[in-house]
Amino acid sequence: GFKMGIVGLPNVGKSTLFNALTRTAAAQAANFPFCTIEPNVGEVAVPDARLAALAEIAKSKQIVPTRMTFVDIAGLVKGASKGEGLGNQFLANIRECDAVAHVLRCFEDDDVTHVEGRVDPVADAATIETELMLADLESVEKRLQGLVRKVRGGDKEAVQQERLLKDAQAALAEGRPARTVTVSEEDAKAWRMLQLLTAKPILYVCNVAEDEAAEGNALSARVAEMAEADGAGSIVISAQIEEELAQLSPEEAAEFLAELGLEEAGLDRLIRAGYALLGLQTYFTVGPKEARAWTIPEGTKAPQAAGVIHGDFERGFIRAETTAYKDYVALGGEAGAKEAGKMRVEGKAYEVKDGDVLHFLFNA
Ligand code: GDP
C-alpha cells in the first residue's frame, strides 16, 4: 500500500492530527475489516462517495474502500541529520514513505511552547527541509564513493546511478531539495530507488486555530505561496477540530461541520490530497458481494491494475470489461451499460481511467 509520513517540529499538532486520523479509522472499523499495525502507524479509508452509489445500484452487501497508511514520524528537531534527537531511526522512517505530510504550526497560543520561540511556519519548513537536505547530501556522497569501482568497471546501472546522484548532489549543494531535479522518464525508476528524502512529494499541512479552519489565516496563506513556488501541495486544517470530530458520531460530526461552515472534515481532505500528491487513482469492482475500490498509480495498464487484486489476475489476464463510473450510474448498472453499448472490452494495452468499473477475465 501507499504510505504517507507525518513530520513536523515538536508541538505543531502532529500527534493530535495522527490520533484523530486513527480514531476515525478505528470508528469506521466497525463497518469493514481494518487493522492497526503499530502505535505510530495507522491505515485509513480513502473517502469516496462513488462507492456508496455503486453499492446501491448493484445491491452490494458490503462497501470496501481503498486505504492509505499514515506514519507518525516524531523526533524531527534541528540537528536531526547529525543524529540528534531520534536522528537516524527517524530518517529511515521517512525513507520508507512514498510522500511526506509536513505539519506546520500556524496557530498562536501562548500556552503551547514553540521550540524556536516564535510562530513562523515558513521558517519551520525551511528548518526541516535543511535537515533533510543535509541528510540527503551525506547519503549521496557516501553512495557516490561506494560506486567508484563499479563505474570504473563499466557497470551500466552504476553509471546511471552515479549520474543521478551527481544531479542530486549539485542541487543539494546549492541548497535546493532533490525534488527540483528534472528526471527523464527512463531514469524515473532508478531515481525513485535512490530514496532521497527531499525527492519525495511534500504536502504542507497548515494547522490553524479552530475559528480559522474555513479560510485559513495570514500564516497559512504564506505557506500556500511557498508551496506553489516549490511544486508542493498545501492544505489548511485545524487539528483541534479534527480531534473533536473524531469523537462524534457521523451525524453529529456532519452537524458540527455545518456549524463551522466546513464542507467536509479536514482529514478527508488530507487523505485525498495525499492521494492526489502521490498521483494515485481509483478503479472499482462491483458485485452483489461487495463494491470495492482499488488504488493504482495514474497510467497503470489493465493487467497491472488486475495484479493489485491478485498476482494470478495479472499473469493470466485476458481482458477487462470496462464501464466508466458515469455510465454505470447513469444507465443503472452493468446490464444497462452493456445494453447501451457503454461496456467496453479492453485488452492488455488499456490504460485504466479513474472511476472505471472493471470486471477482469483471466486464465486461472
Ligand atoms: P506534536 O508534538 O507535533 O505531536 O504536537 P501535539 O499534537 O502533541 O500538540 C502540542 C500541543 O499543541 C498540545 O497541547 C495540543 O493540544 C496543542 N495544539 C495542537 N493543535 C492545536 C491548535 O490548532 N490550536 C491550539 N491552540 N493548540 C493546539
Q: Does 305 lie in the same domain as 182?
A: no
- Mean of pLDDT values over 61-84: 78
pLDDT tens string 280-324: 999 999 999 999 999 999 999 999 999 999 999 999 999 999 999
Does the annotation place 40 within a ligand binding site? no
Query: Is 286 within a domain?
Result: no
Q: Domain limits at 250?
A: 3-277
CA dihedral 70, 233, 125, 117 (to 10 degrees): -80
Residue 28: band (very low, low, confident or very high) from pLDDT cuts 50, 70, 90: low
The SS3 call for residue 88 is helix
Q: Does 341 lie in the same domain as 206?
A: no
Pocket of ligand 1 contains residue 207 by CB under 6 Å: yes
Residue nearest to ligand 1 atom 7, measured at CA: 13
Q: Does 134 lie in the same domain as 13?
A: yes
Query: Is 175 within a domain?
Result: yes
Average pLDDT for the chain: 89
CATH number for position 334: 3.10.20.30
pLDDT tens string 106-116: 998 888 877 77
pLDDT tens string 124-169: 999 989 989 998 999 999 999 999 999 999 999 999 999 999 999 9
Pocket of ligand 1 contains residue 12 by CB under 6 Å: yes
Q: Is 306:360 a contact under the CB 8 Å cutoff?
A: yes
Q: Is the pLDDT of residue 81 over 80?
A: no
Query: Is 294 within a domain?
Result: no
pLDDT tens string 201-223: 999 999 999 999 989 999 999 99
Integer CA distances (angstroms), 247 to 20, 21, 340, in order: 8, 11, 46
Q: Is 334:303 a contact under the CB 8 Å cutoff?
A: no
Q: Does 47 lie in the same domain as 10?
A: yes
Q: Does 112 lie in the same domain as 35?
A: yes
Amino acid, res. 245: L
Query: Which pLDDT does position 315 carry in this prediction?
Result: 95
- Domains contained in the chain, number: 2
Does the annotation place 16 within a ligand binding site? yes
Q: Does 162 lie in the same domain as 240?
A: yes
Q: Does 190 lie in the same domain as 60?
A: yes
Query: Is 114 within a domain?
Result: yes
Complex prediction ipTM = 0.91
pLDDT tens string 212-259: 998 999 999 999 999 998 889 999 999 999 999 988 888 898 999 999
Cell representation of residue 334: 452493468
Pocket of ligand 1 contains residue 240 by CB under 6 Å: yes
Query: Is 289 within a domain?
Result: no
Which atom of ligand 1 is least distant from the CA of 19?
7
- Which DSSP letter does residue 184 get? -
Query: Is 215 within a domain?
Result: yes
Which atom of ligand 1 is least distant from the CA of 108?
26
Q: Is the pLDDT of residue 36 over 70?
A: no
Query: Is 282 within a domain?
Result: no
Q: Is 223:106 a contact under the CB 8 Å cutoff?
A: yes
Nearest Cα to Cα of residue 99 among 277, 276, 230, 297:
277
